[in-house]
Every structure is written in structure tokens, then in C-alpha cells.
A and B are shown apart, each in its own frame.
Chain A
């Protein structure tokens, strides 16, 4: 007999939270990149950096803070559910915590290049 655990949606949500932040950051940066280039923000300067770069890096920083916040909450929920170390128990909370870390690393890896790549041409 298979006994399935009923998992409320709120527990599952934290599995997705990190990558929802990642996807929102991706869409925000991609669209602001095109909007900024269309409006010539790369030609306007705030001190040493262009407005375009300032907007993109600002969005990146906000995304990283949001991703870090998800990691903290996922870690807290896992600890409260009795999880510790690198053991996959309790499963949902541990997977959510690891997914949050993966999403944060992905945000830095895939969006971090706004720090140095050419923004418009």
C-alpha cells in the first residue's frame, strides 16, 4: 500500500520561490536592457558609470537581496522542521532550501555579467 503525505501548497511554494525570483530578475533585466538602449541611457552618465549600467546593476543587487531573503526563509523553515546538515530530511523543506541556493547562484551566474559586458551598441 502506498501512503502518500498530503503536502499543503504553502510548503511547495518555497520549492519554487527562489526560481520565481530568478525568472522575475531575468525578465526585468532583459527588458530594461532593451528599454535603456532604446532611450540612450548608455550615453548618459552618473559619475563614472552610465545610467544604463547603474539601472542594470541596481536590478541585479535587488534580485540578489530577494534571492538571499528566500534562502534565509527556506533555511529557517527547514531548521524549524528538524532538518540539519546535508541530509535530505525533511524532504520538501530541504529541497526548497537547496533550490533557493541554486536559484541565488544562477542569478549571479546568468545576470552578473551586467557588471562588465557591453550593454548597447
Chain B
């Protein structure tokens, strides 16, 4: 998702420089700009330019959006479970009944997060790992995430869900594959206390 951010950043930078150049020209060389008619400015700046920008952004969003879809892999990725409630998260795993308050995943491999909620609509968002996905009551949405390297990745609820929405944060902890089982056992022990 960082890719889309950079596309938008550089796009905005180019537009900023262009508008700055036009202001400068309008100030120092008004005769240059006066060569174009009002109609040309309206069609060029009001129709053609935004169309080009929008088509580019939409195309980028389509390509990146298709990439986010959890397609079946030859080796099915690890599945973990994220349940939202007002106003916190619980995370579960296939091989244990215990849950944790931080989501533990192995680094360097795709992980499918099955997202749902026990009350209202929330949204699971870890900006550094993937886009947002809504948590819908009675429905399971699957989001594929992957952490390139071990570390802590901050996540938030990205859909307004009531008074506690702004504090509904969580952390995804990615561990080196060989440390994953131990780290999770420790987390279970802490959660059980």
C-alpha cells in the first residue's frame, strides 16, 4: 500500500510545482498566458488535466486492489482471526483456544486475517502491512497481510464505531519464523494470567 502513497505523493508534488509555475508566469510573463483563451484554460485545466490524474489514480488503485485479494496459494497461508468489539480487538489462532490482545504473526510469509465483529461495524487497518478491511457483524472478511521483517506494526480501527473509536488501537507483532511458536506461547501465558 505504500506504493499507492508514493504515487499520490509524487503526483501531488508534480501538480504543486505546475501550479507554482503558472503563478510565477502569471506574475512575470502575463503575456505568455494571455495567448490561451478562457475556453482553453477551462477545458485544459478543468477537464483534460483532472481526467488524466483521475484515470492514473484509478488505474493504480485497481492494480493494487487486485493484488490485495487473498487468492488461493499452492501452500495455503496461515490463518489468524481478528474479532473486533466496542472498543478493542481479540486475536485467535487455529491451533489454540486461547486469544491474545496483540496479533502475533510470523514475518516473511503471507498471513490471512479473518476479520469479524461481535457488535457494530469496525475496520481492521495496519497501514504498513495492507489496506483496510471492514469487520461486519455475522460475516467474515479475509485480508492477506505480510510483514517483511520482524517488528511491531501499529493498527487502528478505521471505521467510526462509537465513543471509544479513537482509542481502538492494536499492535501486530511479527516474529522470525523460528521464534513464532515460543513467542505465541508467552503471549498466551500472559493473556491467561
Listed in ascending order, the chain A residues whose CB lies under 8 Å from chain B are: 109, 113, 117-118, 121
Contacts and interface: CB of A to CB of B under 8 A. Distances in A.
Contacts of B58: 109
11 contacts: A109-B58, A113-B62, A117-B62, A117-B65, A117-B66, A118-B66, A118-B69, A121-B69, A121-B70, A121-B71, A121-B142
Nearest to A117: B62
Contacts of B71: 121
Nearest to B139: A38
A104 B86 CA distance: 43
A31 to B, nearest CB: 15
A112 to B, nearest CB: 10
Contacts of B65: 117
A13 B66 CA distance: 39
Contacts of A117: 62, 65-66
Contacts of A113: 62
A93 B142 CA distance: 49
Interface string B42-79: 00000000000000001000100110011100000000
Nearest to B70: A121
A109 B56 CA distance: 12
Given A117-B65, A118-B66, A121-B69, 4 more contacts: A109-B58, A117-B66, A118-B69, A121-B70
Contacts of A121: 69-71, 142
Contacts of B66: 117-118
Contacts of B62: 113, 117
A27 to B, nearest CB: 18
